[in-house]
């Protein structure tokens, strides 16, 4: 069964450093998303991406964040200068195909900012 | 705005007990409704969904009915198992490609 994959599973970084979180969505999907979940809190939407551009973004997704689909398979989230409060689990999701309104989530990347 | 309100946890039940996790929503349009489950150390997995009023989603013994009149999508299971221990998230989406709005999650622990 096709699935969304994410790497790395855990990333530890120093405050102020740049991080890139990587995702490989399901191959025939057209919509891609990033969400985050701060420990013990709800899953929050960051950004959606369609047709090589951002289609929707939340207030959380400020200038420190960017997304890119550098090739036909990867979808990345970059945080330019990490803050302590960026520590969270980051989930990638994709949708499309026959289950058009269902989002398939990856296992997540746990980001720890020290 | 669009949002989901979910029953606070944690919930602890004995094996074979009946489970209800309440979920109500507020939406500007006609949303699709979902329940996702997160097992320890894992990502979000779709448990069931319903795309229009009066639809019933079901999977692995879990059920939820889309009630437009009460704006609810409560999750139920007649007899829980230890393996059902997880965090359950109610979510809504207004359209394909739109963001999901998640509830706060309800942690369920089932004891033998």
- Give per-residue pLDDT as tens, B4-25: 999 888 999 999 999 999 999 9
Q: Which two tokens stand for residue B10?
A: 């944690």
- pLDDT tens digit sequence for B33-68: 999 999 987 888 999 999 999 999 999 999 999 999
Output the pLDDT for position B6.
Answer: 93
Residue A36 confidence (pLDDT) above 90: yes
CB environment A15-26: b (16+ within 10 A), e (fewer): eeeebebbbbbb
Q: Does B100 sit within 8 Å of A31, measured CB to CB? A: no
> How many A-B residue pairs are in contact by the CB < 8 A criterion?
60
Output the pLDDT for position A99.
Answer: 67
The residue length of chain B stands at 112
Residue B99 confidence (pLDDT) above 90: no
A28 or A5, which is more confident? Answer: A5
Residue B105 confidence (pLDDT) above 80: yes
Q: How many helices (H) and strands (E) does chain A have?
A: 0, 11
The continuous run of DSSP H or E covering A82 comes out as none
Q: Does A50 sit within 8 Å of B43, measured CB to CB? A: no
Residue A60 confidence (pLDDT) above 90: yes
Per the CB < 8 A criterion, the answer to whether A107 and A9 are in contact is yes
In chain B, DSSP assigns E strands to 3-6, 11-14, 19-21, 23-26, 32-38, 44-50, 56-59, 62-65, 75-77, 86-93, 100-102, 106-111
Instruction: Using a CB–CB cutoff of 8 Å, tell me whether B104 touches chain A.
Output: yes
Instruction: Using a CB–CB cutoff of 8 Å, tell me whether B59 touches chain A.
Output: no
Output the pLDDT for position A40.
Answer: 80
Mean pLDDT of chain A: 92
- What is the chain B residue with the closest CA to A3? B45
């Amino acid at each position: 069964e096709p699935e969304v994959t994410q790497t790395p599973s855990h990333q530890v970084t120093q405050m102020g450093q740049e991080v890139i979180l990587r995702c490989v969505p399901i191959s025939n999907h057209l919509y891609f998303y990033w969400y985050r979940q701060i420990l013990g809190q709800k899953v929050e939407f960051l950004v959606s991406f369609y047709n090589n551009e951002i289609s929707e973004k939340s207030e959380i997704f400020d200038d420190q964040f960017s997304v890119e689909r550098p090739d036909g398979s990867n979808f990345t989230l970059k945080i330019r200068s990490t803050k302590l409060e960026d520590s969270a689990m980051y989930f990638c999701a994709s949708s499309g195909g026959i289950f058009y309104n269902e989002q398939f989530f990856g296992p997540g990347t746990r980001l720890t900012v020290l | 705005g669009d949002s989901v309100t979910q029953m606070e946890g944690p919930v602890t039940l004995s094996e074979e007990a009946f489970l209800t996790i309440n979920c109500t929503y507020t939406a500007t349009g006609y949303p699709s409704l979902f329940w996702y489950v997160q097992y320890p150390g894992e990502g979000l997995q779709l448990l069931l969904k319903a795309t229009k009023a009066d639809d019933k989603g079901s999977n692995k013994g879990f059920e939820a009915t889309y009630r437009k009149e009460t704006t609810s999508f409560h999750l139920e299971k007649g007899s829980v198992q230890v393996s059902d221990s997880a965090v359950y998230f109610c979510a809504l989406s207004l359209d394909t490609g739109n963001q999901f709005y998640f509830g706060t999650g309800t942690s369920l622990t089932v004891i033998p």
